[in-house]
Amino acid sequence: MEFSRRARWWFAQRGINITAALTDNGSCYRSHLWRDELKTSGLKHRRTRPYRPQTNGKGASSGSTGPCAMSGHTSARTAQRPNGDKHLQTGSTPTTITGATPQSAATHHQRQQPPKASQLAVGFGSGVGRIARRKSRPESSAPRPSAVADRDRSDHCAGYADQMSALSTLDQPLYSASLAAEYLQVPKRTLGYWLEGVARDGVVYEPVVRPAPTGTTDLTWGEFVECWYVRQYRRVHEVPMRDIRRLITGLREELGVAYPLAHKKAFVAAGRRLAFKIQQEDELSPRSWMVVTAPDGQLGLSTIAESFLEEVDFSSEGDRIAVRISPDGHHSAVTIQPDIAFGAPHVAGIRTENLAELVEAGEDLESVAADFGLSESDLRAALAYEWRRSRVAAA
């Protein structure tokens, strides 16, 4: 708050009127304290769109653009500016992208422009204040130090992306046990049993979805999808988990894939015949069956399997693996995808939990939907999902 006030004062002394604040979606900028500060100062609040590099961490102009792009940050150990200006005290001297100080840049602008107040939108990130401009960057034969650092970070990210692409989508690690249990809406202890097995009263129970314990409860996307199938059985009483394990193990061996329930092939004609064969030969409990016999003799899917397919989408080509989960069904805009929002529930790339936090902080639905480019119906779907998830977690 203090930096915001000092920044507005500093620019006001130089004939620059601040009209809006652009921030990221950190919790500090969703607080009532920040909302009251904006209301008191008369600033409009604009937000960057999550997971959008074009706006993440950048200021956006409102009305006419300002004279320069400046950034500064506050520090617990503030020091007096060398030029004697005590009103913008920072841990390091902020500079423009051309290397000039804010004061010299503003002075230069005043010489070049008619004496009228410019309007700026100040952008604030996590601890950083930014003033935006759209003026093109001056050409230079030598790269700026920050450009070199950006290139180094880009190379590092590219290397990481190459490393992850070597893994199949199903093999990519995505979730901790706590986070997966939250999304699956099952107790963490139950999920641990499905993954690593459990010992109770001297009896060792083998894992349900894994061939053997691995020593970690972190989940890959393939394991998460298979646990999504297993969770369907929580609606049915007295289902032996050992029978579900035997079904998954049999399909894994027959189909030759690590995550059989995360492949479409397990649910089509050939897969159904394999599942029915396993169910019969291993004498599995009918409550655990994936495939049932219809009155006309055809093999059909059980209610459990049908419920699973109502929420899971598979790719249309290649191995036809699971690529998307719709936790509230396909009629809802809320989805879970391994390559979007780091596997978190989202609507059009915006995490549902972020949207719910904004509304709970007092933002009206129309403003939140407009800020993120969502329809009001999609926003309501996100809120319905989050509030239902909160009720289940509290139960």
- The C-alpha angle 91, 96, 100, rounded to 5 degrees, equals 90
For residue 99, the model assigns a pLDDT of 55
> What digits encode the pLDDT tens for the residues 296-340?
888 999 999 999 999 999 998 888 999 999 999 999 999 999 999
C-beta of residue 385 within 8 angstroms of C-beta of residue 334: yes
> What digits encode the pLDDT tens for the residues 174-192?
999 999 999 999 999 999 9
Q: What is the mean pLDDT of the chain?
A: 76
Alpha helices in 13-76 (DSSP H): 32-41
End-to-end CA distance of the chain: 38
Distance CA 223, CA 170 (A): 8
For residue 377, the model assigns a pLDDT of 95
C-beta of residue 68 within 8 angstroms of C-beta of residue 109: yes
C-beta of residue 263 within 8 angstroms of C-beta of residue 230: no
- Return contacts of 38-43, CB within 8 angstroms, 24+ apart: 41/4, 41/5, 41/8, 43/18, 43/19, 43/122
C-beta of residue 188 within 8 angstroms of C-beta of residue 181: yes
Residues 64 and 116 in one domain: yes
Residues 6+ apart with CB under 8 A from 12: 18
Distance CA 387, CA 382 (A): 9
Residues 320 and 253 in one domain: yes
Residues 311 and 350 in one domain: no
Residues 105 and 208 in one domain: no
User: What is the domain count for the chain?
Assistant: 3
Residues 6+ apart with CB under 8 A from 11: 17, 18, 106, 120, 131
Of the three residues 290, 325, 360, the one that is the final residue of a domain is 325
Residues 120 and 228 in one domain: no
Of the three residues 109, 136, 163, the one that is the final residue of a domain is 136
For residue 159, being part of any structural domain is answered with no
Task: Give, as one character, the DSSP assignment of residue 61.
Answer: -
Range of the domain at 278: 173-325
* pTM (whole model) above 0.85: no
For residue 256, being part of any structural domain is answered with yes
Residues 351 and 320 in one domain: no
> What digits encode the pLDDT tens for the residues 46-69?
777 665 554 554 444 333 333 333
Distance CA 105, CA 102 (A): 5
Residues 185 and 318 in one domain: yes
Distance CA 218, CA 55 (A): 32
Q: Which residues of the chain have pLDDT under 70?
A: 1-2, 49-167, 237, 393-395
Beta bridge partners of 313: 324
Alpha helices in 258-351 (DSSP H): 269-281, 303-309
For residue 158, being part of any structural domain is answered with no
For residue 167, the model assigns a pLDDT of 60
